[in-house]
Amino acid sequence: MLSVLAVTFPFFALVLCGYLATRAGALALAAIGGLNGFVLYFALPAMLYRFGAQTPIAQLLDASVAGVYLLAAALLVGATAAWARRTGLNWNDTAFTALVTAFPNTGFMGLPLLLALLGPASAGPTIVVLTVDLVVTSSACIALSRLDGAGAHGMGVALRKALAGMAVNPMPWSIALGALASWLQWRLPGPIDKTIAMLADAASPVALFTIGTVLARSQINQHEWVPARQYWPPALVKLVAHPLLVWALAHGAAALGAPIEPTTVVVLVLLAALPSASNVSLLAERFQAHGGRVARIILVSTVLAFLSFSAFVALLT
């Protein structure tokens, strides 16, 4: 376990550094948007492109991996939505509670962390999972959030907004371009490839630091009180139930003959064991959901994941 913590500690320490720097005022809140923009539009797309281009196309188009993970996400979204509705939440808050429970921090944290733990073989399943969450899970939950206004501004409007948002998100495009380069076995010219490599190398530390700044900003900007019963259960479901569900479905699919390697199962389970994605709080604000609840789920899951994620790593590797 200590050897696992030695690998995971620097990743979570960088998150803590970003959080403390923002809370202490060493980093201005106005600067967080710039950090986010650098990671989202430059560093992370460069990393995704590089690993997409270097990964065999068969791994990037693995239907078994996508099917297992998508089924797990659908079950988790459905169960969380049912729980949230029973607690009295409207559809808007229900949808983003479900999304923050089912969407792990794959891009900012998962890809660099699993590469450090498992090596380049983890890149293919990680990119598949990220694509499923960006394209399907997020769009479905945004559509679900519009059920409160199904008359004037209903699901059709939400779906169009979701597709428009996906169209301007550079991550799916960088994944698609990387997959195309892999399929064509095409490499960028040397100087351009080096530039992309330098941006990709910056993705991991800056992304992790940025997670901490976003969490701190959410805490500073959200002053309303939220009962613990509204954010602790989703955080625990994210960290414990999600990876166990993926483990069960992956083993079930393998028993039925799906070509899922044991190493791929480990990658999928560890991705599901990640804390909630920090960008869900930005989506919640955009669609006027209860940002305080979503931010607290992200914060609690990120803090607890240092131990829970490390425990899953120790059990599976």
Residues with Cβ < 8 Å from 42, sequence gap 6 or more?
A: 199
What kind of architecture, by CATH, is found in domain 2-316? Up-down Bundle (1.20)
Single-letter amino acid code for the residue at 98: A
Q: Where are the domains of the chain?
A: 2-316
Could you give the CA distance from residue 178 to residue 19 in angstroms, rounded to a whole number?
A: 32
φ, ψ for residue 187, nearest 5 deg: -120, 145
DSSP code of 275? P
pLDDT tens-digit profile, the chain (317 residues): 677 888 889 989 999 999 999 999 999 888 988 888 898 889 888 988 988 888 888 888 899 999 999 999 999 999 999 999 999 999 989 999 999 999 999 988 888 899 889 998 898 999 999 999 988 898 888 888 878 765 555 556 656 665 665 666 787 888 889 889 988 888 889 899 999 999 988 988 998 898 888 888 877 876 666 788 888 999 999 999 999 999 999 999 999 999 999 999 999 999 999 999 988 887 787 778 887 888 889 999 999 999 999 999 999 98
DSSP code of 39? I
DSSP code of 277? P
Q: Could you report how far apart the first and last alpha carbons of the chain are, in Å?
A: 10
> 240 exposed, middle or buried (CB, 10 Å; 0-12, 13-18, 19+)?
middle
Could you give the CA distance from residue 129 to residue 92 in angstroms, rounded to a whole number?
A: 24
Count CB-CB contacts under 10 A for residue 164: 10
